């Protein structure tokens, strides 16, 4: 049992070989977002999603995550879900609240508009230390959590379809 503290109980369903999943990664605070990406990719691969079914793209910052998720869903109608990964850290100005709000609202909106899971794997932290702790440190890895939630949502979606 992993002693690292995660915010949620991570249970991962099986039978994931047919899912095609987009992963959009913000380059801002890149060492943190790379760790989120590694956590998400590793979790998906270990859960049986083939490497060829992962579609990974970079964007400049978290603000671009929602539009890139929509762009990907428009460009490729085989994609079943999109995981958005980013790291927003509080600075001296009010940028944090504007970017964090727009990113969270935008990601939620894309999921609702397209009717597919669009995951919020974005850290919103006061300090770089908090971000490191949540990207493979003492508080787990939000990329892992986002990937696990993605698979849970895909199976929930599958159950909703009429037989």
String marking each residue 35-74 x if it binds ligand DLZ according to CB under 6 A: -------------------------xxxxx----------
CB of 116 to ligand DLZ, least distance (A): 23
Angstrom distance (rounded) from CA 125 to CA 94: 14
Whose tokens are 């979606």? That residue is: 157
CB of 24 to ligand DLZ, least distance (A): 12
| Exposure letters 83-120 (e unless 16+ CB within 10 A, then b) | bbbbbbbeeeeeebeebbeebbebbeebbeebebbbbb
Both tokens of 14, joined, read 């099986």
- 76: how many CB neighbours lie within 10 A of its CB? 11
Our answer to whether residue 95 is catalytic in this structure is yes
Is residue 104 at the binding interface for ligand DLZ, with CB under 6 A as the rule? no
Among positions 89, 114, 139, 153, the unique one binding ligand DLZ when judged by CB under 6 A: 89
CB of 44 to ligand DLZ, least distance (A): 22
Binding residues vs ligand DLZ (CB under 6 A):
26, 28-29, 60-64, 86-89, 91, 95, 99
Active-site residue list: 95
């Amino acid at each position: 049992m992993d002693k690292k503290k995660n915010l949620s109980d991570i249970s991962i369903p099986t039978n994931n070989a047919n899912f095609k999943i987009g992963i959009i990664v913000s380059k801002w605070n890149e060492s943190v977002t790379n760790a989120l990406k590694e956590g998400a990719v590793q979790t998906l691969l270990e859960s049986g999603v083939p490497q060829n079914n992962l579609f990974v793209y970079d964007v400049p910052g978290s603000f671009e995550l929602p539009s890139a998720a929509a762009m990907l869903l428009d460009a490729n109608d085989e994609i079943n879900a999109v995981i958005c990964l980013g790291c927003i850290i509080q600075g001296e100005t009010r940028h944090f609240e504007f970017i964090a709000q727009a990113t969270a609202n935008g990601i939620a909106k894309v999921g609702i508009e397209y009717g597919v899971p669009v995951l919020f794997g974005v850290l919103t932290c006061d300090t770089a230390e908090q971000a490191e702790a949540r990207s493979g440190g003492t508080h787990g890895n939000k990329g892992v959590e986002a990937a696990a939630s993605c698979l849970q949502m895909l199976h929930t979606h599958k159950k909703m379809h009429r037989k």
